[in-house]
Amino acid sequence: DAKTTQPPSMDCAEGRAANLPCNHSTISGNEYVYWYRQIHSQGPQYIIHGLKNNETNEMASLIITEDRKSSTLILPHATLRDTAVYYCIDLTNFGNEKLTFGTGTRLTIIP
């Protein structure tokens, strides 16, 4: 079972920042926080990951609390194409470690 918890759904107005929370209450010291998304039954798409520092790439920003028990994925200017299910996953990413998906957060961008 997934070790993270996320709200089942969220709405965000187009052009606004979408902030998606995740709780990682059992994250261990060598596990990264990974975020993926799945747009309408397409293959899951990697977004971003981090260990303990905040991270930013061309898709999103990731804020990880100091105790690493929670994180927030930020899509700074949401577009309609960002409507998807977003998953946060704790992962060491050593060797062949599999991804364990939960139910994620269904983000709907509203025009």
Where do contacts with other proteins occur on this chain (CB under 8 A)? Answer: 2, 34, 38, 41-46, 49, 93, 95-96, 98-103
Query: Cβ of residue 49: shortest distance to other proteins, in angstroms?
Result: 7
In three-state secondary structure terms, 72 is strand
Side by side, the strands of the sheet bearing 18-23 are 18-23, 70-75, 61-64, 55-56
CB 99 within 8 A of CB 37: no
Query: Cβ of residue 66: shortest distance to other proteins, in angstroms?
Result: 20
Nearer to other proteins, 18 or 47 (CB): 47
The amino acid at 43: G
Measured CA to CA, the distance from residue 111 to residue 79 in angstroms comes to 8
Query: Cβ of residue 52: shortest distance to other proteins, in angstroms?
Result: 12
Nearer to other proteins, 80 or 99 (CB): 99
Query: Cβ of residue 41: shortest distance to other proteins, in angstroms?
Result: 6
Nearer to other proteins, 21 or 44 (CB): 44
Nearer to other proteins, 1 or 111 (CB): 1
Pick from 89, 86, 91: nearest CA to 75: 86
Q: Which two tokens stand for residue 13?
A: 């107005």
